[in-house]
Chains A and B, each alone.
Chain A
Amino acid sequence: MNFDLLDRERKEKILKSALSVRGRSLWSDARRRLFKNKAAVTGLIILSIILLFSLFGPLFLQYKFDQTNWDTIYQAPNLQNGHYFGTDGNGRDLLVRILYGGRLSLTIGVIATLVSVFIGVTYGTISGYLGGKIDIVMMRIVEILYAMPYLIFVIILMVVFGRNIYLLFIAIGAVEWLTMARIVRGQTISLKEKEFIETSKALGQSTFLIIVKHIIPNLAGPIIVYITLMVPAVIILESFLSFLGLGVQEPLTSWGVLISEGSRDMETAWWLLIFPGTFMVLTLASLNFIGDGLRDALDPKEY
């Protein structure tokens, strides 16, 4: 199982560049390069459409996501009666459910990102600032956690504390901070070595405060980048848990729940697997293209 679309090295490269890009013009340069990348632009367009649909689509649809109807069970996609993507075994409209599932995954993605950025920045700054043996130990811990099957941690958390959706946010965020911690540590160390710290110190500011002051304002870029990297991990992880019956519970729904139901009914109602599956794969592919595009845009040295 593979929860990140990008391997660790690529991820680190992107984040590192995102954190070290300073100033408006550099960002607009990066944006220009990103918009020149056809695959990334396609990804952005598809993702925006999915995003807008998930947020606003339900407002324009005549059905509610938890509205069961025993007269419309397993109906194939139909343009006349408004069940554009068909209905499920409870007669609920599939399209609305897919859009609600998308909302949920995207929300978890954003919240989990914020949690993991918070932990990562704190850990990385402390490790880089303290340096020496403590730094070595702290980084070795990160190294080991990288290799842990963190999904199993998450499952255990779900087992112990019950299947709680808020817990899911935090659990995912709590295991996804490693990359951020490494990047921030690197930044902290290089800031620590810079001369201007010496001069500011002479003015009576502590090095730690100076580092924090330099890192925090530059976090906006990395957070946005991190969200694009994190959302796919969240989507897959949540789907994985839901597939096992440990994730989102009825009547709430997610793409993972829909896919796992769909694969059960695959032979009688193909649309139940194909539509949610398509949404998920399209989103993941778009995010992958955007991630690749971001790397090239932020770090354009490669020919």
Chain B
Amino acid sequence: MIKLIIKRLLVAIPTLIVIIAFVFILMRLAPGGPFTNERALPPEIEKNIQAAYNLDKSIPEQFLIYVSNITKGDFGPSFKYKDFTVNELILSGFPVSLTLGLSSIIVALFLGVFLGTVAGIKRNTYFDHIIMSVSLIGICVPSFVLAPILSLFFGLYLGLLPISGWNNGNILNLILPITALSLPQIAVISRMMRASTIETLNSNFIKTARSKGLSQKIIIRKHVLRESILPIIDYLAPASAGLMTGSIIIEQIFGLPGIGRYFVVGALQRDYTLVSGVMILYATLLIILILFSDILRAFLDPRVKLK
């Protein structure tokens, strides 16, 4: 197991460096970017940037300084917000985005796995058809269509839930964003889970378990689930990536002060340092997640360890 972790880390670290290099190169290429000379910035910011990026050094040196700053967790000063560093902006948005993302992934996993498993077991019944039709809606109606409709209906029309604002993480304020964010993932996960449940149910070892005369409940719990959930474990990282991008729009629509919102504002205003900081943060989080899902997979599937 430790070997596996080390092996994965050996891939993860270079990956991160490549991503950082990619961002660095983009910053250099960007017209009006932090590394070019011709730009019109307020003098205070200009001074901060000169200091932060050591523009007098050679390019490889600049890159090394950039990398070492990032490993220290320092993303530099913001390009547009005068008195803030990127770190301060990210830190202020992080709790919001983390709460939103974590709750959504948990909701999506539990509901998706549960609904998909039941649909797979009861396939071609009414229950199955209903779940699959609803999940088709979840897939075909993007969250930027779904979210306005949800807030119109539950917020303005029924007046049940607040349609915008963070309100210190009040659960009522979170219901609509979490629903809009997790619904597409519930749809995908339940479809994957249904397919993999059906495939597992058709496999030979389930015939063996059946021939033992065990009850359906025991067969599902002890023989099917551990196997059918494996594709979902592999999907964990892509799902999180989906949630990260989704949260960009959801935070925008529901007025939540998370990282995604800074990202959009940064992108629209060409705040290069902010955008690249968020990018690197997302990439780091995802690489950690991939590592985590690899380990979880090795834990659940004894066949992995041999390889």
Contact = CB atoms under 8 A, between A and B. Distances in A.
The answer to A–B direct touch (Cβ < 8 A) is yes
Interface of A: 1-3, 5, 7-10, 137, 140-141, 143-144, 146-153, 155-160, 236, 239-240, 243-246, 259-260, 263, 266, 273, 277, 280-281, 284-285, 288
Nearest to A158: B267
Nearest to A243: B144
A47 B152 CA distance: 30
Interface stretch (B133-141, B170-178, B296-304): B133-141
Contacts of B93: none
Nearest to B16: A144
Contacts of B26: 156-157, 160
Nearest to B285: A149
Interface stretch (B41-49, B69-77, B184-192, B204-212): B184-192
Interface in B240-269: 240-246, 248-249, 252, 263-264, 267-268
Nearest to A162: B31
Contacts of A240: 142, 144, 245, 249
Nearest to B142: A236
B11 A1 contact: no
Contacts of A259: 144-145
A264 to B, nearest CB: 9
Given A2-B139, A2-B185, A7-B235, A155 B267 contact: yes
A65 B240 CA distance: 39
Contacts of B143: 1
Interface of B: 11, 15, 23, 26-27, 29-31, 33, 136, 139-145, 148, 152, 184-185, 187-188, 191-192, 195, 231, 235, 237-238, 240-246, 248-249, 252, 263-264, 267-268, 270, 272, 275-276, 278-279, 282-283, 286-287, 289-290
Given A144-B287, A156-B275, A284-B140, A151 B235 contact: no
B128 to A, nearest CB: 15
**Most B C-beta atoms less than 10 A away, residue of A7, A160, A245:** A160
B33 A9 contact: no
B123 to A, nearest CB: 11
A152 B289 contact: no
B276 A244 contact: no
Contact of A9 (B185, B231, B272): B231
B137 to A, nearest CB: 8
B178 to A, nearest CB: 14
A1 B143 CA distance: 7
Nearest to A284: B140
B191 A7 contact: yes
Nearest to A10: B195
B235 to A, nearest CB: 7
Contacts of B195: 9-10
B184 A2 contact: yes
Contact of B244 (A137, A149, A244, A263): A149
B241 A281 contact: no
Given A149-B282, A155-B267, 11 more contacts: A2-B139, A143-B290, A144-B15, A151-B245, A156-B275, A160-B30, A160-B272, A236-B142, A240-B142, A240-B144, A244-B264
Contacts of A260: 144
Given A156-B275, A288-B140, A244 B30 contact: no
B188 A246 contact: no
A285 B136 contact: yes
Given A9-B195, A156-B275, A281-B145, A246 B231 contact: no
Nearest to B27: A160
B286 A149 contact: yes
Contacts of A141: 15
A87 to B, nearest CB: 21
Given A144-B11, A144-B15, A266-B152, A152 B144 contact: no
Contacts of B141: 281
A260 B264 CA distance: 15
A124 B201 CA distance: 33
Contacts of B241: 147-150
B290 A147 contact: yes
Contacts of A277: 145
Nearest to B156: A267
B29 to A, nearest CB: 6
A303 to B, nearest CB: 8
Contacts of A245: 268
B142 A239 contact: yes
A159 B282 contact: no
A281 B140 CA distance: 6
Nearest to A1: B246
Top 8 nearest A-B pairs (CB, nearest first) are A1-B246, A147-B237, A284-B140, A149-B241, A2-B184, A263-B148, A151-B245, A160-B30
9 contacts: A1-B249, A143-B290, A144-B11, A144-B15, A151-B248, A156-B276, A158-B267, A244-B268, A280-B142
B282 A147 contact: no
